[in-house]
Amino acid sequence: MQKLGWAKSGGPSLPRGFLKVKKALFQLPAEERTLEVALANTRLWTKSSKGKHLKVGEISDLQDCLQSYFKLEDPREQEVEAIRCMIEADLPGEGSLLSTLRSRLDRLDIEPGPGRQFSMVMYKRGGALTPEYLDDVWQHLSLCALLLARGKYKAEVVKSKVLYLSDEPKILCQHDFTPEDLRAAIELVQVTRDEILEAAETSEGFGAQESDFCFKGCSFRSKCPIFVPQAEKPPTPEVYIDR
């Protein structure tokens, strides 16, 4: 079964506050979006709602990542639609069945030119550039391109760029999606959905499984059968039982 959704690098994630700094930077007039301004305001822009600041080591790591970013792109030239945005679309299935798919984008830019043209920008950091990793990145981009074309943005042209913010920064991927790419993406969604439905019918439901996103601070841990065996399994919605 092929994977859809978040690409996992196995390497270090983006520093805390990176996207907050990028959001604040893009709210400035274009001529003020410089590396010097970003570095000078890192501490201020990453202050939490409770007034807490990042630690010295975290700020240093964040500023190193910002310097890598500025080697690849000049934010004064970008027209940004949204930072860290959620995109979604309803895709038709068998009969009247609809699949609502969602994903997040690090950044969505408006591209110059006629019609509704957008560019997806993703930031990656660290990790080995294995074929499996690159395949995950491509599938995530394909899914997001499909959601932009079929969702509220009604994108007519979708471009993409993946910035690899390591010690030796580079543009990892740059691609203009074609109608053939989008058809392949929706075929992958349909195959994945069919395999999920087949698995559900075969196993008469899904057992609880620990996810990569499980963490100690999860507020549902006390009710989860994985961590509390005697926990009561939540009822399955009737719509899924019928299906």
Look at residue 238 and give its three-state secondary structure: helix
| Cα dist from 34 to 43, 44, 103, 122, whole Å | 16, 16, 30, 20
211 sits in which H/E element: none
pLDDT, average across residues 147-162: 95
Burial 144-153 (b: 16+ CB within 10 A, else e): bbbbbbbbeb
pLDDT, average across residues 118-125: 95
Mean predicted lDDT score pLDDT of the chain: 84
- In the chain, what are the domains? 18-192 (3.90.320), 218-242 (no CATH)
CA distance 197 to 98: 13
| Cα dist from 133 to 47, 142, 172, 204, whole Å | 33, 14, 11, 32
The DSSP result for 22-65, as a single string, is HHHHHTS-GGG--HHHHHHTHHHHT--TTS----HHHHHHHHHH
Report phi then psi at 52, rounded to 5: -90, 145
pLDDT: is 124 or 215 the higher one?
A: 124
CA distance 133 to 142: 14
Amino acid letter, residue 40: A
Distance of CA 168 to the CA centre of its chain: 23
pLDDT, average across residues 47-58: 93
Contact 150, 91 (CB under 8 A): yes
Look at residue 112 and give its three-state secondary structure: coil
pLDDT tier for residue 1 given thresholds of 50, 70 and 90: very low
Per-residue pLDDT at 167 exceeds 50: yes
What pLDDT is stored for residue 55 in this prediction?
95
pLDDT tier for residue 129 given thresholds of 50, 70 and 90: confident
What pLDDT is stored for residue 163 in this prediction?
96
Report the percent of the chain where pLDDT is more than 90: 55
Per-residue pLDDT at 95 exceeds 60: no
Per-residue pLDDT at 205 exceeds 70: no
What pLDDT is stored for residue 8 in this prediction?
42
Look at residue 186 and give its three-state secondary structure: helix
Per-residue pLDDT at 201 exceeds 90: no
What pLDDT is stored for residue 9 in this prediction?
40
- Mean pLDDT lowest among 22-26, 152-156, 188-192, 221-225: 221-225
CA distance 108 to 234: 37
What pLDDT is stored for residue 215 in this prediction?
67
pLDDT, average across residues 34-61: 95
Nearest by Cα to 106 from 184, 29, 13, 34: 13
- Mean pLDDT lowest among 10-14, 62-66, 103-107, 125-129: 10-14
CA distance 73 to 165: 11
pLDDT, average across residues 148-154: 94
What pLDDT is stored for residue 202 in this prediction?
77
CA distance 54 to 241: 47
Q: Considering the entire predicted model, what is its pTM? A: 0.77
